[in-house]
Chains A and B, each alone.
Chain A
Amino acid sequence: MIEMIPWTAEYPLELDRALRVRLGPLELRVSRRARELRVSSLSDPIQLARAPEVDHVSPEDEPGGVSPKLNTWRFGFTEEPSRLRLAPALADRPVIIRPEEPLTLLPGEEVRAYVSSPVWLRLLVGEARRLLLELPSHRPSDTWFGPLDHQGQLCYALATHLSLTWADRLWKPHRAITPVVIVNSAQEPFTVARLRVPVGQLSIYGTPDRRLWTERITLTRRDDAEGEARVTVDGEPPREAEDGELLSPPRAPGGRSFNLRAFEGALFGRSIA
């Protein structure tokens, strides 16, 4: 039977059977064999809107058949685990949001935007919930943020509408939504052409309708810092997910308030001034 992923559930792994998990473009099989777990994965970029599903299939039924993009991992155990948990996680690098049209804020203006980023799927096994594997539901393109030397950072790129109002159409099953408040406390207008979201400092909350949210973050742009922002991370789920349950803590827990190079101008390497 196919069911939506309840993130807090535990799935039995039957001997010589496979558990099939689909989350957006990602499809994977976890097969249990004697003293071994085998994971096969396939990414199908056409299936961006596919609902998350979990069901049991025959282990011979490899995802997508014979495909050059099929990846396989084997894990050996003294006694192979019989249960599996799934957990979402945010990207393992910062995410750079590039609005399709740059957004300009006049001095003193404040907007609340919604950005969504693909989640990574974690496979956890055993009573201790040991991490077996972590795979992106959708691998975004690499991009660079900052100068071309070691002061810059390799990040993931996402092109979005940078919507300023929440709409259901923004939701995708394999993505977590982050409300981003942008405040221009400088004396000059500034244009957001690229925006860095520090997803490593964010948690994931799941709502009863199976949507994934992160805390709200506030980016305050000041006069005295070129491209730099004061970042504040709320300590609770956003108002859109008040009843959300914490599913995944931040990858890099740190302070809830810090300075970060968060904005870049329309031309690469040129910071907003």
Chain B
Amino acid sequence: MNPFAELDPTALFTQWAPVLVQAFLVLALGLPFARLLSRGAERAVERSPSPEFAAPAARAVSYSLTAITFALALEVLGFDLGVLLGAAGLVTVALGFAAQTSASNLISGIFLVFEGSFKVGDVIQVAGTVGTVISVDLLSVKVRTFDNLLVRIPNETLVKSELTNLTRYPLRRVDVVVTVPHETDLTRVQAALFDAADDDPEFLEQPAPEVRILELNELGVRVQVLAWVATTNVVSGKTKLMAAVKSAFDRAQLRVATPQRVVRLVPEGAPQSQVTSIE
């Protein structure tokens, strides 16, 4: 006996058509509404002090409202949401085990949002990667390195690692270290290095440049000159300071130390007068 023989297509249509239309209306209204609210959230966050989190916020709102819309549509179609939620709970547990890393990244992303250590456009250094932050997403942060590579750093890594924000403050200090021979007059070296730090208008007059004597070693005396520049000029500033030190040394007829070794040739049993030194 055909179980469908007693089904009346007209009755079926009359029974299901309104339900299907209702479910369709829920989706037709709910999905654009979810999109609208997610855009609203994105714009609101863009105007906030942390605009870099606009995209994650928009996605969070969009995913939540889309899920609610589909749940409502299923309820209209007669599905028992309690059963669905129970099943969803089981699925969530299963997914939880399978997606521990993603969950960790997601939660780490939330920590990053509240920590505010960096924003889109900042230059950061994390675990050997230096680059400009181009997006902060739910699971990862995308960084463009200076040799134009895209590096995806999982949020968990950012939370666990030491992160350096290279552009957080408006000023940076650049330095050059040179080693001069032991016999060099250090007063002349200091004067030449101060000249170098005054060589370009991009080196700030205040905070004032400094010259430090770092170390006496077998090669000579290690001396460091430090100058401050605007953060936007840090790359050119380092190069300019290096060139300025070279020019200042040339003008002052100073030279940097070069490795030297003294070899003493001592013939076996020879008197001291026959010892030869070679430099």
Query: What is the interface of chain A, defined by CB distance below 8 A to chain B?
Result: 96, 98, 139-145, 148-150, 152, 154, 157, 194, 268-269
Residues from chain A with a CB closer than 8 A to the CB of B228 are 144
Whether A140 and B170, one on each chain, are in contact in the complex, defined by CB atoms closer than 8 angstroms, is no
We find that the number of chain B residues with CB closer than 8 angstroms to chain A is 15
Q: What is the bound-complex CA distance between A149 and B203, given in angstroms?
A: 17
Interchain Cβ contacts under 8 Å between A and B, 20 examples: A98-B205, A139-B201, A140-B201, A141-B201, A141-B203, A141-B204, A141-B205, A142-B203, A142-B229, A143-B204, A143-B206, A144-B204, A144-B206, A144-B207, A149-B169, A150-B169, A150-B170, A152-B171, A268-B206, A269-B207
Of chain B, the residue at the smallest CB distance from A156 is B201
B205 in contact with A148 (CB, 8 Å): no
User: Could you say which of A98, A148, A157, A194 contacts B169, with CB atoms under 8 Å apart?
Assistant: A148
Q: With the chains together, A154 CA to B202 CA distance in Å?
A: 11
Instruction: Give Cα A97 to B208, complex, Å.
Output: 15
- Chain A contacts for B229, CB-based, 8 A: 142
Q: Are B207 and A148 in contact (CB under 8 A)?
A: yes
**What are the residues of chain A within 8 A of B230 when measuring CB–CB?**
142, 154
A98 and B207 alpha carbons, distance in the complex (Å): 13
User: Are A143's CB and B170's CB within 8 A?
Assistant: no
B175 to chain A, nearest CB (A): 16
Closest chain-B Cβ to A96's Cβ sits at a distance in Å of: 8
User: Which one of B169, B170, B208 lies within 8 Å of A154 (CB-CB)?
Assistant: B170
Bound CA span A152–B204, Å: 13
Give Cα distance in the complex from A141 to B230, angstroms.
12
Please state if A157 and B170 are interface contacts (CB–CB under 8 Å). no
- Identify which of residues 225-247 in chain B touch chain A, using a CB-to-CB cut-off of 8 Å: 228-230
Which chain B residue lies CB-closest to A140? B201
Which residues of B lie under 8 Å from residue A194 when comparing CB positions?
206
Whether A157 pairs with B206 at a CB distance below 8 angstroms is yes
Most buried by A among B198, B204, B208: B204
The distance from the CB of A268 to the nearest CB of chain B, in whole angstroms, is: 5
CB A26 to nearest CB in B, in angstroms, measures: 14
Q: Which chain A residues lie closer than 8 Å to B205 at the CB level? A: 96, 98, 141-143, 157
| Set of chain B residues within 8 Å of A150, measured between Cβ atoms | 169-170
Nearest-Cβ distance from residue B250 to partner chain A, whole angstroms: 16
Going nearest first, the 3 A-B pairs with the smallest beta carbon separation are A157-B205, A143-B205, A141-B201
Min CB distance A172 to B, Å, is 18
Residues of chain A with a CB closer than 8 A to B204's CB: 141-144, 157
CB contact between A142 and one of B169, B201, B208 (< 8 Å): that residue: B201
Name the CB-closest residue of A to B200.
A141
